[in-house]
Amino acid sequence: MRLSELLSALPPTLAASEVRAGDDPDPVIRGIAYDSRAVAAGDWFFALRGAEVDGHDYLDGALALGAAALAVEELPPGFDPRGRAVVVLPDTRRALAPVSNRFFGEPSNELRLIGVTGTNGKTSVSYLLESILQRADERVGVIGTVEIRYPGERRRSLNTTPESYDLQNTLRAMRTHGVETVVMEVSSHGLELGRVDGCRFALAAFTNLTQDHLDFHGDMGSYRSAKVRLFQRHLDASGSAVVNVDDPSADAFVDAARGAGARLVRVSRDPNGDAEVRLEEAEIRLDATRARLRLPSGVIEVTLPLVGDFNLENALVACGAAVALEIDSGAIVAGIEGCPQVPGRIERIEAGAAEAPTVFVDYAHTPDAVEKVLRTLRPLTGGHLVAVFGCGGDRDRAKRPLMAEAVARFADRIVATSDNPRNEDPGRILADVEKGLSGRSRVDASALAGAEGAYAVIPDRREAIEVAVSIARSGDIVVVAGKGHEDYQIIGRQRLPFSDVDESRRALSAWRAR
C-alpha cells in the first residue's frame, strides 16, 4: 500500500501539516510500527509520546532497521532522515488509528463488534456473553483485560483495549480465522486516546461508573465523558445499546444511545421497574447463585456459576446484550450456566481440605469493587472475614483511603500491603491507605490473629498473603484483592513474576501442613 493511500485515511483534524518526500516520493508501506525495535524494512514508523518513553528519541534506530517513512509531531533539530519520507502530524497516536484501520482493510466492517465499558464488570460480562454466543453457534473472539482469544489463538493482554495498530491487526486476524462476532472490553483510556477510532460497534454495553483512573482523567466528569464516547462516536446507528439503569450515571449513557439512534435495552435489579431485562429474585451461595430473570420473551431461571451479588448485575448486562442480539432464551440460559470461572474474579482457590478456610482472589482495585466483593461475602462467612489489599503506585491517590474505608466496613481483620508500587515508595502508598483505617487499631502481624477489628501493615505481598491465610480458621473467608489474574508485580519499571493465585495456593498448602 502506498504512503499516499494511507495518508488519505486521515480526517482533516489529523491531516499532515507537512510531508517531506524522500528518495521515493510515494514509497510502498509494507508494515506499520510504533516500537522502533520492531521495525522491519519498508515499515512506516510512528513516533508516539508516552508517559515514560518518547518515540521521537528513537528515530535513528527505526531508520537503521529499514523504516521507509517516519510519522512525527516534530523533527529534532538537524535530524537527517537519510532519504526517507517524513510526515509531520498534529497527534501521531491518534493518527495511528485511522492509518492502521486503512492498512488492515477496515476489518470491523466485516465483523459484529460488541463493546463493553464501565469501571467494573467488563471482563465478567465479556466471559458471560462469549459463552452465550457460543451456545448460539457463533464463532466468537474476545479482546479484554485478561487475554485475547479466538479459535486457534490465545494470548495474554498488555492493555484492556490494545493500541490501535494492535487492535486492527487482531481484528483482521480474527476475521481471517472465521470469527463473526467480537466481544471487546473498551476502556476509558482506549476511548480517550483514540485506540478504537475507526471501529463501528453493533452493540455497546455499560456496566457501572465509580471512581477510578482520576490520575489520568482528572475528575469524574471527564472520566464519564470518556466512557460515553463509545455510545456517542462509535455506536452504529443501526446498532443497540445496553445500559444498567441502576447506576447513577445511567442517564448520560441512555441519552447518548438515543442520540445515536440505537435500539435501547435497559437492565435493572428492580423487579417492579420497567427495564426490558430485570432481576426478579436471587439466592446467593458460596458455590453459585440462583436467579430468576425477566426478559421481553418471558421469565428464565438460571444457576450462575460465578459467585457474588455483583455478578447478578454482570449477568443482567450480558442478558441485555443477548436480547438485543435476538439470541433465544435457551442459548442464554445454557451460556450463563456454562460460563467458565473468570480468572481472578472472585476466584475460589481450592484448599484440598474440608476444614481449611475459604480463599478468594479478586481483581477488585477500586473502592466500589472491593466493597461489592466484601459485602457479598460478609453474610456467607461462618467465621471471620479476612481481607488482604493494596493500592497501585503512580495512580489516583484519592481512592486509596476510600478503598481502605470500604474494606474496614466489612472485614474483621485486615492486612494492608503493596499492589503494583511502580515508581512510588510503597511506604507512602500505605500511609495514604492507613488514612482510611483510622477507626481500626494497628497491630504487629504476629498479634493480628487475636486482635478483633485490627489491621496489620505488611509491605511484602507474599508475606501478607501468608499471614492472612495462616491466621484463618475453618469457616473463615480470606479475600486477596487487587491483582486478580495478573501474574506479575510492577516494581519500578520491572514486571516481576508474582501471582496472587499461586501465592494463595502456597499459603493454603502451608496451612494444611502445619
Q: What is the DSSP string of 298-339?
A: EEEEEEE-S-STHHHHHHHHHHHHHHHTT--HHHHHHHHHTP
What pTM did the predictor assign? 0.90
CATH topology of domain 3-103: 3.40.1390
Give the H or E element holding residue 506: helix 500-513
What is the helix (H) or strand (E) element at residue 114, kind and residue range?
A: strand 112-117
Q: Residues 6 or more apart from 35 whose CB is under 8 A from it?
A: none
> Residue 80, Cβ neighbours under 10 Å: how many?
11
CATH number of the domain located at residue range(s) 347-513 in this protein: 3.90.190.20
Give the CA distances from residue 282 to residues 265, 310, 315, in Å, rounded to whole numbers and listed in that order: 21, 12, 12
pLDDT the model gives residue 378: 95
Contacts of 339 (CB under 8 A, 6+ apart): 127, 128, 131, 304, 305, 306
> What's the Cα-to-Cα distance from 207 to each of 211, 245, 369, rounded to whole Å?
14, 9, 12
Closest CA to 431 of 475, 393, 468: 393
User: What's the rounded Cα separation, in Å, for the pair 294 and 297?
Assistant: 8
Residue 381 has φ and ψ, to the nearest 5°, of -90, 120
The C-alpha atoms of residue 247 and residue 184 are separated, in whole angstroms, by: 21
Cell of 23: 528518495
Q: Which CATH architecture has domain 107-337?
A: 3-Layer(aba) Sandwich (3.40)
Spell out the domain ranges in the chain: 3-103, 107-337, 347-513
Please give the pLDDT value at position 501.
97
Q: Given this model, what pLDDT does residue 98 score?
A: 97
* C-alpha cell at position 16: 499532515
State the pLDDT at residue 354.
83
pLDDT of residue 95: 97
- Taking the CA atoms of residue 299, residue 303, residue 309 and residue 313 in that order, the dihedral angle to the nearest 10 degrees is -50
Residues contacting residue 407 through CB under 8 Å, at least 6 positions apart: 370, 374, 387, 389, 414, 436, 437, 481
Cα Rg of the chain (Å, integer): 24
Q: Fill in the DSSP letter of residue 225.
A: H
Q: What is the pLDDT along the chain (514 residues), one digit of tens a residue?
A: 999 999 999 999 999 999 999 999 999 999 999 999 999 999 999 999 987 889 999 999 999 999 999 999 998 888 999 999 999 999 999 999 999 999 999 999 999 999 999 999 999 999 999 999 999 999 999 999 999 999 989 999 888 899 999 999 999 999 999 999 999 999 998 999 999 999 999 999 999 998 777 676 788 889 999 999 999 999 998 999 999 999 999 999 999 999 999 999 999 999 999 999 999 999 999 989 999 999 999 999 999 999 888 899 999 999 999 999 999 999 999 999 999 999 999 999 988 888 999 999 999 999 989 999 999 999 999 999 999 999 999 988 999 999 999 999 999 999 999 999 999 999 999 999 999 999 999 999 999 999 989 999 999 999 999 999 999 999 999 999 999 999 999 999 899 999 999 999 999 999 998 8
Q: Residue 297: how many CB atoms within 10 A of its CB?
A: 11
Q: How far is CA 360 from CA 153, 328, 355, 399, in A?
A: 28, 34, 16, 23
pLDDT at 48: 96
E strands in 369-493 = 385-389, 413-416, 441-442, 454-457, 477-481, 488-491
CB of 180 closer than 8 Å to CB of 171: no
Length of the chain: 514
Closest CA to 20 of 75, 92, 60: 75
Spatial strand order of the sheet with 413-416 comes to: 347-349, 358-362, 477-481, 385-389, 413-416, 454-457, 441-442
- Asked if 448 contacts 464 with a C-beta cutoff of 8 angstroms, the reply is no
Measured distance between the N- and C-terminal CA atoms of the chain, rounded to whole angstroms: 66
What is d(CA 197, CA 12) in angstroms, rounded to the nearest whole number?
14
